[in-house]
Amino acid sequence: MFEFLQSLPGLYLGWVKSYPMLSAMIQFAILGTLGEIISKWLIQKSFRYPFSFLLTLWKMLVWAALGIAIKYAFQGFTGFVEYLEAHAYLPELGKIGKAFAISAFMNLQFGLFLVLAHRLLDNMGERKMNWKGIHKSMLSLLWFWIPAHTVTFLQAPDLRIGLAALWSLVLGLILGLFNRR
């Protein structure tokens, strides 16, 4: 059993390297949806399952699609910051500065689109138009996602998507705690 546990990091990294898009989709589908479920449990102070089967499938599909978009954004904004740094449009940033710059550029540009797209897709799945609290979601880009993704971009590239998916679960937990009735 101990040998199996020791082999898990290698198996995970092999899976992520061999199937980068599929692994992004699966990680976000599971962890993002789980974050929403936990958030609802905390808000309602009840462990009653909050979604129908079809809505759960819809949420998993939405998170899977977001996972693909995020995977591309990670690659694109990393290259963007590296280009700016290489051509002296940004000063030499160092490891932490570069991680912060990638996170800030990504969240302040792509993040706004992602928040709106996520809410629109949630509304479609729930068959209602609910834009209540969208400003809080946008503010989470500043207080949560920029710091969280700064940590994410300090990691090896093959670990970033898994950590980002885990951050989605963490944000669900935080929002559930802050929005308890």
pLDDT digits (tens, 9 = 90+) for 43-91: 999 999 999 999 999 999 999 999 999 999 999 999 999 999 999 999 9
- Cα dihedral value 109, 152, 67, 28, nearest 10: -140
- Amino acid type, 65: A
Q: How confident is the model at residue 181 (pLDDT cuts 50, 70, 90)?
A: low
* pLDDT of 146 strictly over 90: yes
Confidence of residue 122 (pLDDT cuts 50, 70, 90): very high
As given in the structure block, the two tokens for residue 98 are 């570069």
| pLDDT (mean) for 4-15 | 93
What is the predicted pLDDT for the residue at 117? 98
pLDDT more than 90, % of the chain: 94
Confidence of residue 38 (pLDDT cuts 50, 70, 90): very high
pTM for the model stands at 0.95
Q: Would you state the pLDDT for residue 5?
A: 83
Residue with tokens 């979604």: 51
Segment 141-159 mean pLDDT: 98
Q: CA-CA distance, 14 to 93, in Å (whole number)? A: 31
pLDDT at 89: 98
Q: Which pair of structure tokens corresponds to residue 87?
A: 């051509």
Largest CA-CA distance found in the chain, in angstroms, rounded: 55
